[in-house]
Amino acid sequence: MTARAVAKATPEPHHNRHSAPQSFWRKYVFSVDHKVIGKQYLALGLFMALVGGFTAYLIRWQLAWPETEVPGWSYVEPDFYNTMVTMHGTIMVFFVAMPILLGAFGNFLIPLMVGAPDMAFPRLNMMSFWTIFTASCVLMASFFVPGGAAAAGWTGYAPLSADPVYTGVDWGQNLWILALALEFSSFLMGGVNFMTTAINMRAPGLSLFRLPLFVWMQMTAAVLFMLSVGPLIAGAVMLLLDRTAGTGFFLPARGGDPLLWQHLFWFFGHPEVYVVLLPGFGAILEILPVFARKPIFGYRAIVYSTIAAGALSFIVWAHHMFISGIDARLAIPFSVTTILISVPFAIMIFSMIATLWGGSLRFPTPMLFALGALATFLIGGVTGIFLGSAAVDIFMHDTYFVVAHFHFTLFPSALLGGFAAIYYWYPKMFGRMLDETLGKLHFWITIVAFNCVFIPLFLVGMGGHMRRIYNPLQYDFLKPMQPIHEFATIAAIVLLLGQIPLIVNFFWSLAFGRRAADNPWQANTLEWATTSPPPHENFAAVPTVYRDAYEYSLPGNATDWLPQHVPGPALKAQEQAA
């Protein structure tokens, strides 16, 4: 098909165009530009990561050297320890991983990757950011109300969360519910925008199966979130009513059932794992072919596997409840579906490895983080198969084995994938290159320290070490494992300090980094077809797409990459003949 025919076959995208903002407030604060909103999400997510990292520091110190003064802080009291455990999980999942992977990179990249001038609903986009900003303020304010912040665990299990008598937390838990409700509203708005933009505003010639995999991952994550969050919103309203209006949905003393909350939470909670995981996978899948100089292996298999994994994620939630008294006849089907969901992920991982096989590999910082994410996720995936078995899970449940597995699942995709995305798309976002030496220093400290923290936790978990306990030394059978805790804590401190090179690099490069070319990585997708950083409304003219996103090392081509918007040699010959 010629370029003229492609352009004619695809309807011209439409968009409620808005003029370039002139005032400071409209340009940088209340902006409707998806690129500015993406950067706002990134700033918010990175700030909350500092808070979440500090809570991890307090938790790890208390576990390694219980009831001693924490350097730079004070003593961690038992009630405050419960607060730290609760807020660490809440912040890292809902206020770090989601804002960075979906809010920042979804907003910044989807319009650019589909050749659109902006999101379909720019004002709704602005509202989504300021809603999560408000949610973050509410969550942070909960630290300062009488009784402190929420302390019922990041899963908010009833009855701990339903009655203040169990934790001593009153308004802190109410504000936690309100903050999550606002955060969910924000990402519902964002999901509507992502879907509408990616489906309705694609450039001429950009069919669904020519979309970059990052866009597919974002769309799947948006659908999963929109379909799963409804029951939990209903549950949050019921929980708030239990706490404030005297209802008894989750309190046995009032005729309620605490297990109802677990069902509602995990019906959302397990798809939520993939909401966070898939965008990180999307970033990795964009980076691997660029630095392997090879087409992605199994594009359609990856797309179908992503959809299959998303569908299966709705029928695995009860594997979180194997010890709740669930009937064994019901546990077996959930065990089967949980193990079955590893199949589509195995296909995705195999495709990543096959993409690398025989490639002309290059190892700049984005590639190192992508490879690190791939390697460490394998450990998280394999240990997840163990926990999918009801027989094994009954022994491992609520031990540090689960903590280690959970971190080996989400840290590679959310944080290592997020770091890979920052190093890869920073030149497009800010027009400057990050320093490679600092980037590689950041990578090696992070990858080594992360493994030193969490591999030992598999061992203490298999030794029966329960999680969420304040002082392990109160149990004689846990005392021999204390040196492992101390080692993991030292590694955790190194991991936190290892983020200093990224912070220095990020801000130093904004002012003094080498200016980035429009396409510094010689990649094919449409975001590299415009300037770095992109202008208002992204493209001087709407690009036309001629091919798939991953055409590298084509025989007969003068270069080893062929951008989607550039006519190829064969196409040029056809056009000249016409």
> Considering only 119-123, 238-242, 265-269, 326-330, which range has the smallest mean pLDDT?
326-330
- How many other CB atoms are there within 10 angstroms of residue 154's CB atom? 18
What is the percent of the chain where pLDDT is above 90?
Answer: 83
Residue 378 has pLDDT above 50, yes or no: yes
Q: What is the DSSP letter of 398?
A: T
CB 362 within 8 A of CB 275: no
Confidence of residue 8 (pLDDT cuts 50, 70, 90): very low
Residue 548 has pLDDT above 60, yes or no: yes
The confidence score (pLDDT) of residue 574 equals 52
Report the pLDDT averaged over residues 317-345: 88
Find, among 345, 351, 316, the residue nearest to 331 by Cα.
316
Report the pLDDT averaged over residues 131-155: 95
Report the pLDDT averaged over residues 250-268: 93
Residue 35 identity (one-letter amino acid): K
Residue 567 has pLDDT above 90, yes or no: no
Half-sphere CA count of 533, side-chain side, radius 13 A: 17
CB 374 within 8 A of CB 306: no
The confidence score (pLDDT) of residue 27 equals 85
pLDDT greater at residue 501 or residue 320: 501
Residue 466 has pLDDT above 80, yes or no: yes
CB 431 within 8 A of CB 532: yes
The confidence score (pLDDT) of residue 10 equals 45
pTM above 0.85, yes or no: yes
Confidence of residue 13 (pLDDT cuts 50, 70, 90): very low
The confidence score (pLDDT) of residue 7 equals 43
User: What gap in Å lies between CA 277 and CA 382, rounded to an integer?
Assistant: 16
Average of per-residue pLDDT values in the chain: 92
The confidence score (pLDDT) of residue 71 equals 94
**Residue reference for tokens 């006849």:** 329
Residue 497 has pLDDT above 60, yes or no: yes
Report the pLDDT averaged over residues 296-315: 95
